[in-house]
Amino acid sequence: MRLHWHRRDLRVADNRALSRAAADGPVVPVFVFDPNVLAHGSPPRVAFMLDALDALREAYRERGSDLVVRQGDPREVLPDLADACGADGVTWAKDYSGLARERDAAVRRALDDADVARESVHDAVHHPPGSITTNDGDPYSVFTYFGRKWLDREKESPSDPPTADDLAAPDAVDPGELPTLSDLGFDDPEADVPPASAERARDLLDAFVDGPIFEYEERRDYPADDVTSRLSAHLKWGTIGIREVYDATADAMAAAESKPDDEAADAAESVEEFQSQLAWREFYTHVLFYNPEVVSENYKAYENAIEWREDHEALDAWKRGKTGYPLVDAGMRQLREEGWMHNRVRMVVAAFLTKDLLIDWREGYDWFRQKLVDHDTANDNGGWQWAASTGTDAQPYFRIFNPTSQCEQYDPDGEYVREYVPELQDATAGQIHEWPDLSLTERQRTAPGYPAPIVDHGERREEAIETFERARGDE
């Protein structure tokens, strides 16, 4: 008998670690609510996780088994549970952050002391850290070269889910009850958290590859358009496997290439662009694996310290979506309402915080960590440091997003802004795009409840460039 320790793999299909356990089964699936991990949690993420666990438990029950739930330190829980079940081994899917690796090393030692075999299996990424390197064997710090190799590498097929015969009977051990948010010490989330299950993830994937993926290259940056997959939270929590996602994109590529000649090339390019986004996800996973310190430190070293501002009022206005820049505010309000934000808008709000407000990227990263359902240490840290010009393959410090022109380009009709900023509901697209340049009288006549810009972008752009040049030692 084997235990399979679920963490960020809350599914039964396309789960390589679970399949490995089933080979030496029967398997007792278990999830441990670790207080050390929960200390880094947030209401929206824990709410999504609990929903996913409820669906996972149902999937096991449909197969004549059950998900065993425990609370406590896995170094103690897993050896005790193995002893109670008569299990001779434990499997789990590897995680790649520094904290996760420290935890897993401690669990391995505890299982060794208890004379219980253990095996960790690569599952969350196609190509684990160390498998895509430079010709000298070093990890990549530039995505372009990594991405080319990633796209060229053969991908494994999804693994089959376990059958009833692969799983332990539900009376092997007391399964325990799933706790509530309150039981775990969390308040109800401010956001309307989306449903979490493998079935929901598969529905999203099917809907995406049936149509929107073929417009992805052209329309993915337009937040009012529904051409993103919305799979980020499901990939983060593992309610769908990466091999299943890639298989669906491979089928979409075949469908694209069978389209009429005047459509095939654009459709195939769109599919490859989405695949490239999956590669970015793995690139940042590799970066974090080799540089765990980037969670709290700049990846890129400057000669001098960056002179970040301490401006609590501006930071609060940014968090509340009250900056007076409509696209920024729409994104920040979407974050609070949905626990999610469109990727183009994520880049704009991050650039605004780190360049227009010159506030340390760590403040923004921490806020996203609290509010995002799909918060992933590697991806979020990589994105924030990219925007702040402190990360690997980062946006050059002198290329600074203009939040007004970004709004005009990617929300030309003001549709996205009006959805999340009701004060501008009656404003024309032109008034939304020109808001920072409108006179006080025009602003009061158009939207008296919406604030004037808290900073002048042109002035702050110059200040940001000068700040980074001092950090570089250019002055």
186: in domain: no
Lowest mean pLDDT among 150-154, 169-173, 424-428: 169-173
CB 299 within 8 A of CB 392: yes
CATH of the domain at 56: 3.40.50.620
Bridge pairing between strands 89-93 and 68-71: unpaired
Structure confidence at residue 25 as a pLDDT band (50, 70, 90): confident
Whole-angstrom Cα distance, residue 169 to residue 192? Answer: 36
Tell me: do 283 and 396 sit in the same domain. Answer: no
464: in domain: yes
Tell me: do 276 and 398 sit in the same domain. Answer: no
Domain edge (last residue) among 90, 123, 156: 123
Q: Give 39-75 pLDDT, tens digit per residue.
A: 999 999 999 999 999 999 999 999 999 999 999 999 9
- Decide: helix, strand or coil at residue 161: coil
Q: In what order do the strands lie in the sheet with 27-33?
A: 68-71, 27-33, 2-6, 89-93, 117-121
Q: Where are the alpha helices (DSSP H) in 32-91?
A: 35-38, 43-62, 74-85
Whole-angstrom Cα distance, residue 413 to residue 418? Answer: 9
Evaluated on CA atoms 448, 450, 452, 456, the torsion sign reads: negative
What pLDDT shows up at residue 475? 62
Tell me: do 107 and 26 sit in the same domain. Answer: yes
Buried residues in 435-470 as b, exposed as e (16+ CB within 10 A): bbebeeeebeebbeebbebbbebeebbebbbebbeb
**Nearest alpha carbon to residue 7 among 159, 38, 25, 42:** 38
Q: Give 170-213 pLDDT, tens digit per residue.
A: 888 999 999 999 999 999 999 999 999 999 999 999 999 999 99
Whole-angstrom Cα distance, residue 438 to residue 446? Answer: 10
Name the percent of the chain in helix, strand, coil, to the closest 5.
55, 5, 40
| Residue 20 pLDDT exceeds 70 | yes
189 Cβ contact list (under 8 Å, min separation 6): 42, 43, 44, 47, 339
Domain edge (last residue) among 86, 108, 123: 123
Residue 289 backbone dihedrals phi, psi, to 5 degrees: -60, -45
| Residue 397 pLDDT exceeds 90 | no
Strand partners, 121: 93
> Dihedral, CA atoms, 248, 271, 9, 197, nearest 10 degrees?
-70
Tell me: do 343 and 443 sit in the same domain. Answer: yes
**Nearest alpha carbon to residue 318 among 307, 330, 332:** 332
Q: Give 441-463 pLDDT, tens digit per residue.
A: 999 999 999 999 999 999 999 99
Bridge pairing between strands 68-71 and 2-6: unpaired
CATH of the domain at 361: 1.10.579.10
Reported pTM: 0.95
* Mean pLDDT within 103-108: 96
* Mean pLDDT within 240-261: 96
Residue 218 backbone dihedrals phi, psi, to 5 degrees: -85, -35
Evaluated on CA atoms 272, 273, 274, 278, the torsion sign reads: positive
CA count, 13 A, side-chain hemisphere, 406: 25
Tell me: do 318 and 462 sit in the same domain. Answer: yes
CB 74 within 8 A of CB 95: no
CATH of the domain at 285: 1.25.40.80
352 Cβ contact list (under 8 Å, min separation 6): 318, 323, 325, 328, 401, 403
Tell me: do 247 and 349 sit in the same domain. Answer: no
Q: What is the DSSP string of 124-136?
A: SSSS-TTSSB-TT
The range of the structural domain enclosing residue 56 comes to: 2-123
Q: Give 402-417 pLDDT, tens digit per residue.
A: 999 999 999 999 999 9
Indicate the helix (H) or strand (E) that contains 264.
helix 261-290
Q: Please confirm whether the linkage preceding 26 is cis (ω < 30° from 0).
A: yes
Number of domains in the chain: 3
Tell me: do 319 and 211 sit in the same domain. Answer: no
73: in domain: yes
Whole-angstrom Cα distance, residue 321 to residue 259? Answer: 43
Strand partners, 359: 309
CB 358 within 8 A of CB 461: no
